[in-house]
Structures are given as structure tokens and as C-alpha cells.
Structure 1
Amino acid sequence: MSDEDDLADSEPDQDDSEKEEDEKETEEGEDYRKEGEEFPEEWLPNPLTEDMMKEGLSLLCKTGNGLAHAYVKLEVKERDLTDIYLLRSYIHLRYVDISENHLTDLSPLNYLTHLLWLKADGNRLRSAQLNELPYLQIASFAYNQITDTEGISHPRLETLNLKGNSIHTVTGLDPQKLISLHTVELRGNQLESTLGINLPKLKNLYLEIKDAGLQT
């Protein structure tokens, strides 16, 4: 079985412990914002290293024609990372958690064309823009400094979390490309209207319209 067949049938699941951990991290993120703490202007450079990769890699799976194997899951959260350039070389990764770091650039993820699941919460991102990732199904960019929704065009994306950012207007969510997106989380932003949200499969939309005092 090829990588493509395997990925097309894959569904990133979370067990109960992972869900509880996600909920805990969300609460911590909300508490962090409530305290009114600001991100420091400068952080000392702290790039992702091979040693960090060795510690964070798990889930050995077959790749390509099934004769080779590679680790496909990476967790490097809370490492004070400022640079993930090294990820360009780990093209077989499918599950990546880089949350609670100091990242401003996600462009190395453009090389991870097998990526299914991405969590980049609690960084210093100003954009969620990435190249089209053909298998990405779940993406979370909560509690960053993102100001727009441009550059999100992954055809298999089902769940998108942009909670706790600085988005005023939704733009760039192309219904012709986001044909699988059914859940969008936009609470904790500065939204002025629901314009720009026109997705064919949308079932769950969570947002607040600040000016109107409306919460959905």
C-alpha cells in the first residue's frame, strides 16, 4: 500500500487522555490571556535540534512502498522554540505538536506533504498561511497573534481552530478549496461580522461578534 492510500484512509484520533490534555491547555491559554501578560518583544534564538527531535519522535510506521519505516509523530511543545527549520528534512511526519513555543514562522511545515494533524497553539504567529497540504485534516492555531484567515486552502481540512487571536474579518476561506471543512472555532477574536464564512460542509461554527454583542 502506498503512502497516499494509507494517508487517504487515515483519521487522526484523540483518546480520552489527549482530549483532557487539550481541554487543560485551552483553559491555561485562557488564563494566560486573562492575566493580561504580553509576549516579550524579543526571545533568544532557540532552534529545533536533532536531540529534541530524538526525544519528541514516536509512532513508527511504514512509508512509501511499505519496505521502509519512519517515525510519523512529533511532540516538541513548551521548548521555547523560535525556529523549526529542521523539520524540512522530516517529510514523513503526519502528526505535529509545536504548541507553547515562540514561533513566528511555520514555512518549514510546507515540506510535510503527508501531514494529517497540526497543533501550533500558544506561539507568536501572525498568520496561519501554509502551502496547500493535501492530507491535513485538523489544524489548530489557537492563542497566537493571527490577524487574518488568508492562506488556508487544504482540501481535506475538517477542523480549524483559530480561537484567541486578533482576527477582525474572515477572508480567503475559499469554498471551492475547503470542501471538507465542517468545524471552525473563532471565539476570542475581534470579529465584526460573519462575512467571508461560506463553506459547503460547515456544521459547527463558534464565534463572537464583538460590536453586536452576539455569541454563537
Structure 2
Amino acid sequence: MSEEEEEMFEEEEDAEMPQMEPDQPEEGEEQRPEGEETEEQEGEEQEKIPENPLTVEMLPECLSLLSKTGEGLAHAYIRLDVHERELTNINILKSYIHLRFVDLSKNSLKDISPLSALTRLLVLKADFNLLTSAKLDEMPFLQMASFSNNKITSTEGCNHPMLEHLNLNNNEITNVTGLNPIKLSRLHTLELRGNKLETSAGIYLPNLKNLFLAANTLKQLEGLERLPRLTTLHLRENQLEKLDGFSADIINLQYINLRANNISAVSEVEKLACLPKLRALTLLENAIAEEDEYRIDVLIVLPKLERLDKDEFTEDEKNESKELAVTRAEEKKLAQLSTDRNGCNSTHYKSICRNYIVLVYRETTLE
């Protein structure tokens, strides 16, 4: 991965995860429990949303891109853009089977099942709605689907054979289930930022290249060995203390973002040494990054690393790490020899003691 691509991914995460200040109660206003306030607000929100279905009258200004259909004897519009129209119902779309590009973003939709009739659909954007599920019938040509900023609780129902990019950022998913590795053989990018995942288990996608799991509550990594083609892994803003779960089977992983986790020891970073192609790593906002010899220590355990926290290692750093690595190896060897020598002396002493006891016993018996 190039430095430009790495910075692009960093900028995307910064843009998608703004830091929000908590609302403060006004003077004299009683502050209610967080959960209670949320439920009340949701109830009020649902009551305020009036029915606003997509109608035939709206469609002319929303349809575009005329294209041939069938055997080329007829034409139909294949692009629909109805974003930000406060829509609550899209049942009318069942009849528009030739649509290939659909943008439903920023509405109040709770159900997109009518889209299952659009078997020619290529691109779907349904961000910023009120969806609790992304489930659709199998769409034979769907290549990109985005459902970010909804209330989706499950990854079920996303098995579309041509799907390459799936975005489920900022939802309420607690675990990954139902992703079929056979049907999703073309999926190369999976985005699950800003959910409620505690583990990476359930992501068995052999051809996946980019995995975004930032801003979850990850405490452990599982199943990564099932992602042999993974090149980019974003784990920013989670709760990882250990870096168990990495394997030499992940032969293509080049970049890992571990910013703002709970990594405090270089011994954890050393667990990444099994990754043959790892070249870039981000560890900012971890306890380990506060150590004086942080960059050198990381380079010693990961000598093939080229960039740490976006900065390339200098020649001076590389030379220093090599010298320090040799020094530490010699110290470790001397310490081991000392331990072995002490062990030998201890064994010899025990042998002498045993021989003395046998001798005393024999003399006592002869008397």
C-alpha cells in the first residue's frame, strides 16, 4: 500500500468519526438516565414522521440515464436519485425493474424490500435511513451496496454473488453472521466501522482485501487466518490490549491501523512478526507510543516495517535498531548461559548430596 493510500484511509476515518461533545442540560432542567432519554426521543421521532411515499408524480425529476433494455428494441431510465426527500415508502419501485443505480440516502425508510424486484440493480445507496435490516433477495448483479448510518443489527441477507463493496458503517451490529464465503467470493471491501462488535469472528471471506472495523468495542481478534488476501486492516478506536489472532496465513497484509487502542507492550507488537508483507503500522494514542525508544523498539521486533505512524523509518533509525538488536541478542545469550551454568551447578550440588546420603547410610548399616 502506498503512503498516499494510507493517508486517504486515515482521512476517511477522521471524516466519518467526528468527535461530538455530549449535550448538557440547561439550568434547572433535570438530567434523565441516558437509556430512558433515548427511548423517549425515539418514540417522539417515530410519532413525528408523517407518511410520505414515493409517487409517480415525483419520479420524472428523479429518473435519468436512458438506456436500451432487453434486446435493444426499447429504452428505459436506469438511474434513480431520491435522496433527502423524507420518503417513508418505496413500494412503487417494484414496477421499475430496469433500474441499475439507486440512491435512497437521507430519507426515513424502514423497509427496502421492494428493491428485491430490481434484479438488474448494480449500485445501491441507502445511507441515513431508519433501516433495521439490510436483507434483500439475492441480487444477481449488485456490485456496491451502502447502508451506513441506519439501525441495522445484523449482517444477514447480504449474500449477492457480484457484490464487491459492502458498507455497514455506523449501525448497531453486535456480531457478524450469515456472510457466505462462496456467494461473496468477489467481495473485496467490507466496512463495519462504528458498530458494537466485540470480536472479529464470523468474517470468513477468502478474497477480502480491505476490512474496516474502527470505532467498535473489539477486545479480541478471531478468524483473521481465514482472510489470506487481506491487505488493509483498520482497527482504530477499539479496546484491544492483546494482539493475538494474527497468523502467517495472512500472507498479503501490508497495513494495520491500531490507533487509539490499549497496546502497552512491545511484546504484543512482536506478535505481528508472523506477517510476511507487513510494511506500515499505526500505533498512535496507545500507551506504547509514549515510550522513549518506541520507534526503535518496534523496528527491532518488526525489521521489515517501512512506516510507523505515517512516518518512514530513517537510515539512522534502521542502523540504530540493527545495532541495538545485536546488543540485546548478545545480552540475552549471556543471560541464558548464566542461567544454564547456574542450573548445572545446582544439579551437581544435588548429585553430591545424594552420594553423601548413600555413603552415610552404608556406613551406618555396616556398624
State the TM-score, normalized to the length of structure 1. Answer: 0.82
Q: Please, what is the CA RMSD of the aligned residues?
A: 2.2
Q: Which residue of 2 aligns with 1:41?
A: 46
> Where in structure 1 are there 5+ consecutive unaligned residues?
1-22
AA aligned to 1:41 is: Q
Give the structure 1 partner of residue 153 of structure 2: 147
Relative contact order: is structure 1 or structure 2 higher (C-alpha 8 Å, sep ≥ 6)?
A: 1
Q: Secondary structure at the match of 1:130?
A: coil
Secondary structure, aligned partner of 1:70: strand
8 Å Cα contact 2:200-2:218 kept in structure 1: no
Q: Relative to 1, partners in 2 of residues 1:169 and 1:46: Cα closer, same or farther, differing over 3 Å?
A: same
1:67-146 alignment to 2 at 5 Å? 67-146=73-152
Residue 34 of structure 1: how far off its partner (Å): 7.0
Question: What residue identity is the alignment partner of 1:103?
Answer: L
Cα offsets for 1:94-125 (capped at 9, x unmatched): 00000000000011000000000000000000
Greater mean alpha carbon deviation, residues 120-129 or residues 202-211: 202-211
TM-superposed CA distance for 1:33, in Å, is 7.8
Residues 53 and 144 of structure 1, relative CA distance in 2, 3 Å threshold: same
1: CA distance between counterparts of 2:122 and 2:137? 14
1:50 aligns with 2:56: yes
Q: Distance in 1 between matches of 2:173 and 2:20?
A: 16
Deviates more, 1:204-213 or 1:86-95: 204-213
Identity of aligned residues (%): 55
Give 1:178-193 correspondences, 5 Å limit: 178-193=184-199
When structure 1 is superposed on structure 2, of 48-57 and 107-116 the one drifting more is 48-57
Q: Is the 8 A contact 2:53 2:88 kept in 1?
A: yes
Distance (Å, rounded) in 2 between the aligned partners of 1:147 and 1:84: 22
**Which has more strand, going by share of residues?**
1
Q: Is 1:199 matched with 2:199?
A: no
Match of 1:18 in 2: none
Q: How many residues align?
A: 191
Unpaired segments ≥5 residues, structure 2: 1-11, 24-37, 220-238, 241-256, 259-367
- CA shift in 2, pair 1:176/1:78, >3 Å: same
Does the CA contact (< 8 Å) of 2:121 and 2:141 recur in 1?
yes
Compared CA separation, residues 63 and 142, structure 1 to 2 (3 A): same
Change (3 A) 1:76 1:172: same
1:72–1:33 CA distance, 2 compared to 1 (3 A): farther
Q: Check if 1:162 corresponds to 2:168.
A: yes
1:61 alignment partner, SS class: strand
Displacement of 1:211? 4.2
Range with bigger deviation, 44-53 or 112-121: 44-53
- Specify the SS of the correspondent of 2:58: helix
Distance in 2 separating the partners of 1:147 and 1:50:
32
CA distance in 1, matches of 2:19, 2:57: 29
Instruction: State whether structure 2 residue 87 is matched by structure 1 residue 66.
Output: no
Query: Which residue of structure 1 aligns with residue 322 of structure 2?
Result: none
Contact 2:173-2:196 at 8 Å conserved across structures: yes
1:98-153 alpha-carbon deviations (Å, 9 max, x no partner)? 00000000110000000000000000000000000000000000000000100111
Secondary structure at the counterpart of residue 50 of structure 1: coil
* 1:210 paired residue among 217, 224, 230: 217
- Shift in Å, 1:170: 0.2
Assess, with a 3 A threshold, how the Cα gap between structure 1 residues 202 and 33 changes in structure 2: closer, same or farther: farther
TM-score when normalising by structure 2: 0.49
The alpha-carbon deviation at position 61 of structure 1 amounts to 0.4
